[in-house]
Amino acid sequence: MALTMASVMSQKRDVERDVRVMVVDDSAVVRGLVSRWVNEEPGLVSVARYSNGKLAVDGVAESAPDVIILDIEMPVMDGLTALPLILKACPTAKVIMASTLTRRNAEISFKALSLGATDYIPKPESNSGVTTSAEFRQHLLEKIKVVGRRLIATSARRAARSAPNSHSTVASKAHATNAGQQQAAGAAQNADQIQLRPFSLVRPRILTIGSSTGGPQALMSLFPQISPALDTIPVLITQHMPPTFTTILAEHLGRVTSRVSKEGAEGDIVKPGVIYVAPGTHHMTVREKDGNVVIHLDDGERVNFCKPAVDPLFQSVSNIYGNATLAVVLTGMGQDGAAGGKVIADKGGSVIAQDEASSVVWGMPGATAAAGACSAVLPLNSIGPKITALLRGVGR
């Protein structure tokens, strides 16, 4: 059947439609304010708001949101209890957990990620804080747009694959690609356009990893695979996270690997077999001191709008380890890690990026791949075996 103009326009509308947002929070002030922010943002529309998890579970199927902002502490039914019920009623929805920066809420947010939440956002402690925080508004809307547009683009690609003829598939894929490029700030490229470099011939002496949106889930999947091969090298991680959350991340990585895993502290000697996580308050870098490689924490300006940021870590590691550096860029928004990854590659080290299909957001890994820094672009379940092979001196 020939492709009609009506079908092309229908596919285009599917990709370009507004992201539908549901807000679930027991505070009427927060519900009203966030819904207003959403409606004022081009490309977003508020479709429902509820004061507790039970109302959200009952209304989510009818509201059909793309993205749900879900508070943790609510009466009748809290966010963690509601989460699996919401996803059962509306499996395509992406849930962003919102919580204040307490240790308890950080633990609950990590639990939510394991139950299917896509991301989290730290929320100011008071309603007045939410009202006056331009940073919270900016970060929240950015997360909604990136996660929502990714969902819509993915849905369009799936619809294209089931279309009755290849012409409609090509048209829909083109529109989906345009949406995806907007999410990754123009960084993503088609696989056949990515220029790969050879892996270093030198066995790695350090593993360094950068990640953001979707990163905690990716790290928890990756580390049980690679832990047996980490006895001889240190691991340094920058995950875009606020304080307290980075503490919990380090503890979780320690539990899944049965290794020492900690937030990096000023002057820590970098030791093989130990996992160091950048604290949520500083950039983590390395330097040489008295014949040792030690952690240095930098309280300077944000890099790529982030603190901690991946680029400072990657660049400092490359200065010391050169072509014995192995770096991995996992799922995340923006382009942090691309510049640092290119420095590593230019000094002869090896960089692996997570592929688009397995990433929650193909911003950081897509930008790194587009920069020509990568020796491989792999699905998440293939990265662990590749790292293990490289650390054992094979797999190049």
**Residues that are catalytic:** 212, 240, 336
> Which residue is listed with tokens 């539990």?
255
Phi, psi of 303 (to 5 degrees): -120, 130
Q: Does residue 388 contact residue 366 with C-beta atoms inside 8 Å? A: no
**Strand bridging mode 67-71 / 261-263:** unpaired
> Which residue is listed with tokens 């989906």?
176
What residue spans of the chain are helical by DSSP H?
A: 5-16, 28-40, 53-63, 79-89, 103-114, 127-132, 134-161, 166-183, 215-226, 245-257, 310-321, 338-346, 364-370, 380-391
User: What is the C-alpha to C-alpha distance for residues 153 and 158, in angstroms, rounded to an integer?
Assistant: 9
Helix 53-63 to helix 79-89 angle, to the nearest 10 degrees?
20
Which residues 6+ apart lie within 8 Å of 163 measured at CB? 169, 172
How many DSSP H helices and E strands does the chain contain?
A: 14, 14
Phi, psi of 348 (to 5 degrees): 95, 0
Q: Does residue 74 contact residue 48 with C-beta atoms inside 8 Å? A: no
